[in-house]
Structure 1
Amino acid sequence: MKRHDVTIVGGGCVGLSTAKHLSEQTDLDVAILEKEHHLAEHQSGRNSGVLHPGFNYPPDSKKARFATEGTRRMKQYCADHDVPCEEFGVLVVAKTDREEAHLDVLASQAEANGVEYERLDSQAEIREREPHAVGQAAFFAPEAASVDSQQYIYALAREVQRNGVSLYTGHAVEKIRSTSSGYHLATSNSDIDTTYLVNAAGLHADTLAQQVGVGDGYQVVPFRGEYYEVTPERAELCQTMIYPTPDPELPFLGVHYTRRTDGKVIVGPNAVLAFGREAYRNTNVNLSELKDILAYDGFRKLLQSKTMLSVAWSELNKSYRKEKFTEAAQRLVPGVRADDLHKSYAGIRAQLVSDDGELVKDPLAIETDDAVHVLNAVSPGLTSSLPFGEYVAGKIIEMDEPSS
């Protein structure tokens, strides 16, 4: 049986970033347990790859701080490690007076958070940025970028291994038990003892935390986001990234366009309840996990909201009816046709829901005397991964400091 000073469950962007900062700042023996045989199989590798510079988050919030700092640090990291990263910028389009008024909020937040931006007040100005986008006003943030998230994950993995971190793939943690000297982790491959624990297990973080009595007031509810790819001959429909104006009352952004570092343009995602934590197709069903979701009081309370029911129905339609997805895409770029869109990949967002039926919108890491449980690394998780991982590593370092 092996023993480590710190064991991190989950080899995604937060887990690897935590390992990076621990290995750079301490002499602790650090290990990462990843249940898959390959990295970036779930949230960290199944996202849009966008770096969000922080204009969409309230000033002085963790999200704002992590996003603005994370964008800057990620760009430098990608440059230093030859990870593809392109600063395309993002155009946020307003279609109504109400949406145009919200652009003022984005501008105010951008100024407070130190994010560069430009207001576009006419269709003509919008078309100078995006010839095929249609709206009455827009907000352009040039610092938004597109990154190859999978290559980023593997760059982090190579770096932490060079720093002496042990990376165990194919080690699914099945049981966590507290011991007098830390924790005993039973995995699908071998057992590990550890002094300190970092639970960064993403879609399964809540179930692991609850094995040791942490996070009982929350449950992860999985939402699948499906993407289409624009055919290469029509990729000129999007030159940068085109987003709808976010609705502050809704948890999900809505269908948008993203130009990737490989030149492809993807459209999406929708946000539909997944019938399992890893149900990446709308035909996949994990009956046990679906039963747990439907039986959860917090989820049932969430659906008591007429707004959420309406959103759920709309998103479900986009999943099973391509014409509805196309209509959502046409709201931003009317020239796109159903034939221009072809099914691509899907990701699942580990959305934390509280017992009172509220969507947890901020990052949530619960500390104990010898562990940090990352229950909510909510969007923009990839963007925030370097400062968020440093934050988690700092908590472990504080735990290891001798008491005076």
Structure 2
Amino acid sequence: MRTLSLATAMMRHDVAIVGGGCVGLSVAKHLAAATDLDVAVLEKEHHLASHQSGRNSGVLHPGFNYPPGSKKARFATEGTARMKEYCDAHDIPCEEWGVLVVAKNDDEARRLDELADQADANGVAYERLDSQAAIREHEPYAEGQAALYAPEAASVDAEQYVYALAKEVRELGVTLYTGYEVQQLTRTPAGYRLETSNGQFDVSMLVNAAGLHADTLAHQVGVGEEYQVVPFRGEYYEVRPERAELCETMIYPTPDPELPFLGVHYTRRADGKVIVGPNAVLAFGREAYENTDLNPAELFETLTYEGFRKLLTSRKMLGVAWDELNKSYRKSKFVEASQRLVPDVRGEDLNKSYAGIRAQLVSDDGELVKDPLFVERDDAVHVLNAVSPGMTSSLPFGEHIAETIADKHDA
């Protein structure tokens, strides 16, 4: 990695990618491999994978839960296959456990039929299970009336993946600046000026992949002003090792199509640990990882945002918000949610683990943006919503953004 003095007055590159997470680094990888552009990645933290790219479950989602023909479906199915190949080539831990999606009632069983149809259309392998006995053959402690088993779901070490990407982009000639927080973005006649915590950058083209702060930077140049990131914290518990047999693979609830959050579920990670979660509670700051953390300015920004206030006019969303808040502050409520899938789990089986924050984009009309959203300009791409499954999709999604930038450069 190139080391620069703080006294350096101005750094210049053809392309600046703001954000050194899995999406930003994937863009850098594909752009450097396909072009001779001078590419820089600016990451505000000194350590990579400090936020969304490292604080997730590490699951590769094979694509049965996404509408056929959608960006999510295409990126997830292709991304799962490519990620497995990448992990194998770079010696990154990856375990293909499979996932069991459990239906607890007739409505959820009908939803499984829809998931099966989507799996067929998206080319995702699955097995439909129509009895408790069949469910127990896969997961002895899971309980439900029906399930869908997708064997291609896998767990990877997310941090090792990000660091493998970083090593690769450096070898491709990309300059990776860590500890460079982009504080102000300004249009110039030749492109963009980036004021950072360690100096100024002048660049011809920009990729804004700043995750939790992508909307803030975009708004500084008049992009995406009809959207705002609302941070939702997801908290995980770990099943104590002597009770890890409660989940042998992954156990998921049947998803609610009206919500972007899956709900509490079980994941056996690549390292063999079993985690339970996450909930989805409003975070009192974009990096408020503990339920005692508070950033007054960012919380005020959220609470006064028109789109957030409209979102809460939905009685369903209010109910969900109350339930999720209870799970954050009352372990007993989290345990109750966990027991819906695995009744044998007890409070003493669960130890508090880590938390992540999801950069959920909300529109001014109060809608949760559920699909990937990037806004193009002649010399920029702003990734406003790299929504779940962001890590799963990162290789094809990053390649798509890189191709878009390359085409703009050649135009």
TM-score bracket, normalised by the shorter chain, equals over 0.9
Stretches (4+) displaced over 4 A: none
Q: CA deviation at 1:190?
A: 1.4
User: CA deviation digits over 1:321-353, x for unaligned, max 9?
Assistant: 000000000000000000000000000000000
Taking structure 1 as the reference length, the TM-score comes to 0.99
Q: CA deviation at 1:374?
A: 0.2
Structure 2 equivalent of residue 14 of structure 1 = 23
Structure 1 equivalent of residue 131 of structure 2 = 122
Q: CA deviation at 1:227?
A: 0.1
CA distance in 1, matches of 2:391, 2:295: 27
SS in 2 for 1:235: helix
Gaps of 5+ in 1: none
SS in 1 for 2:229: strand
CA distance in 1, matches of 2:245, 2:57: 18
Structure 2 equivalent of residue 185 of structure 1 = 194
| 2:96 aligned with 1:87 | yes
Q: CA deviation at 1:2?
A: 1.2
| 2:235 aligned with 1:230 | no
Structure 1 equivalent of residue 56 of structure 2 = 47
Q: CA deviation at 1:250?
A: 1.8
| 2:230 aligned with 1:221 | yes
| 2:330 aligned with 1:337 | no
| 2:149 aligned with 1:160 | no
CA distance in 2, matches of 1:108, 1:236: 31
Counterpart selection for 1:387 from 388, 392, 396: 396
SS in 1 for 2:288: coil
Structure 1 equivalent of residue 5 of structure 2 = none
SS in 1 for 2:325: helix
Counterpart selection for 1:290 from 299, 308, 312: 299
Counterpart AA for 1:96 = N
User: CA deviation digits over 1:150-169, x for unaligned, max 9?
Assistant: 00000000000000000000
CA distance in 2, matches of 1:142, 1:193: 47
Q: CA deviation at 1:66?
A: 0.2
User: CA deviation digits over 1:339-372, x for unaligned, max 9?
Assistant: 0000000000000000000000000000001000
| 2:132 aligned with 1:135 | no
Identity of aligned residues (%): 76
Structure 2 equivalent of residue 259 of structure 1 = 268
| 2:221 aligned with 1:212 | yes
| 2:314 aligned with 1:305 | yes
CA distance in 1, matches of 2:351, 2:300: 32
Counterpart AA for 1:94 = A
CA distance in 2, matches of 1:214, 1:2: 24
Counterpart selection for 2:47 from 38, 42, 53: 38
CA distance in 2, matches of 1:17, 1:113: 24
CA distance in 1, matches of 2:33, 2:16: 16
Taking structure 2 as the reference length, the TM-score comes to 0.97
User: CA deviation digits over 1:185-221, x for unaligned, max 9?
Assistant: 0000111110000000000000000000100100000
| 2:118 aligned with 1:113 | no
CA distance in 2, matches of 1:212, 1:250: 31
CA distance in 1, matches of 2:258, 2:312: 15
Number of residue-to-residue matches in the alignment: 402
Q: CA deviation at 1:249?
A: 1.7
CA distance in 1, matches of 2:287, 2:122: 35
CA distance in 2, matches of 1:254, 1:350: 16
Q: CA deviation at 1:251?
A: 2.0
Structure 1 equivalent of residue 383 of structure 2 = 374
SS in 1 for 2:224: coil
User: CA deviation digits over 1:134-179, x for unaligned, max 9?
Assistant: 0000000000000000000000000000000000000000001111
Counterpart selection for 1:244 from 245, 253, 256: 253
Gaps of 5+ in 2: 1-9
SS in 1 for 2:111: helix
Counterpart AA for 1:398 = D
Structure 1 equivalent of residue 369 of structure 2 = 360
CA distance in 1, matches of 2:199, 2:124: 47
CA distance in 2, matches of 1:266, 1:323: 17
SS in 2 for 1:399: helix
CA distance in 2, matches of 1:212, 1:137: 50
Structure 2 equivalent of residue 69 of structure 1 = 78
CA distance in 1, matches of 2:256, 2:232: 18
CA distance in 1, matches of 2:269, 2:61: 14
User: CA deviation digits over 1:217-273, x for unaligned, max 9?
Assistant: 000000000000000000010000000000112221100000011110000000000
CA distance in 2, matches of 1:250, 1:223: 13
CA distance in 2, matches of 1:283, 1:350: 19
CA distance in 2, matches of 1:369, 1:252: 34
Counterpart AA for 1:166 = T
Counterpart AA for 2:58 = G
Structure 2 equivalent of residue 171 of structure 1 = 180
